[in-house]
Amino acid sequence: MRSNSRPMLVLLVLTLAVAGTFLGSSPASASSPGWLNKCGYTHSLMDDPIVFPDKPDASHLHDFLGNKSTKASSTLDSMRSAGTTCTLAADTAGYWAPALFRNGTKVSPTGSWAGHSTRQQIYYRDNNVAAGTHINTIPADLRLVAGQGHADSPAENPKLGKEIYWGCSDNSTGKLVAPPTSCSSGIITLHIGFPNCWDGVLTHSNDTAHVVYPSSYKCPAAFPKALPRVIVRFEYPVGTTTGKITLSSGPTYTVHGDFWNTWGQARLDRLVADCLNVDKDCGTPTS
């Protein structure tokens, strides 16, 4: 018995090593190449420079993160020359979503509850495409909307619970289609993931029709250019009992978000090259 135990042990170790190699190569592995920005709340306006450019007060109320100047009349140049609340000064992009209400009262995506402070964060990842996929930089002036602000039911906003989802700030709930009824931290979260397979067309207006989500970790043939996966995380201090949550666009199933790439482009290009395309987690860069 003892003479046979060592070969069997070696075989077991080799088997586990091979299995670990395959598991580690999965597109859904735990590693997170890319980087994270912390971008605070700036202001609220009934403006949407992507959907209603040059038309102030034409939209429902939005909460804006990042760029301090975002408004209906904003341009690429005006956004780039403005300040930002992001910890990385080169990120002068605009990020926004419909304002949130609890029992009819607006809740700002800032503040705290019982000692728990909110955090507004922007993730740049590539974890929804296969390992080894080349990530193209996000072109300057790309403008995207994720979600369906005019949905009449959850089914009409099909990325709910997947790319766009609700939860608690302690990440205890998984990806919810609707806000949780309670959170022990008193803070609910909203994640908005933007499509990141691009067909190469840049309109300098609303580019949403030219970008789709990957399917089975691949970009479709008609949208072959993989871009960084941008995920915006909003947090709202609503209390441990959530109450009735609505949005300025209507019921919570009308949730959507906007992203306008007005970055300092050279810095964005370097981050894509130095983080995403070498599979490196660059943490939260500040310069």
**280, exposed or middle or buried, with CB in 10 Å at 0-12, 13-18, 19+?**
middle
Name the residue range of residue 257's domain.
34-278
Cα torsion through 102, 106, 108, 111, rounded to 10: -60
Task: Sort strands 105-107 and 245-247 into parallel, antiparallel or unpaired.
Answer: unpaired
In a domain, 28, yes or no: no
Cα–Cα distance, 266 to 116 (Å, whole number) = 36
In a domain, 287, yes or no: no
In a domain, 166, yes or no: yes
In a domain, 108, yes or no: yes
- What's the pLDDT score for residue 6? 38
Q: Mean pLDDT by 10-residue block, N- to C-terminus, for the chain (287 residues)?
A: 38 37 35 92 98 98 98 98 97 98 97 92 97 97 98 98 97 95 96 98 98 98 98 97 97 98 98 98 95
Tokens, residue 132: 């080894």
CA distances from 187 to 109, 124, 168, 171 (A): 10, 23, 6, 11
In a domain, 286, yes or no: no
In a domain, 88, yes or no: yes
Total-model pTM: 0.88
Cα–Cα distance, 110 to 215 (Å, whole number) = 34
Number of folded domains that form the chain:
1
Task: Give ∠ CA 253-71-35 in degrees, rounded to 5.
Answer: 70
242-260 CB burial, b ≥16 within 10 A, e <16? bbebbbbbeebbbbbbbbb
In a domain, 11, yes or no: no
In a domain, 112, yes or no: yes
- What's the pLDDT score for residue 116? 87
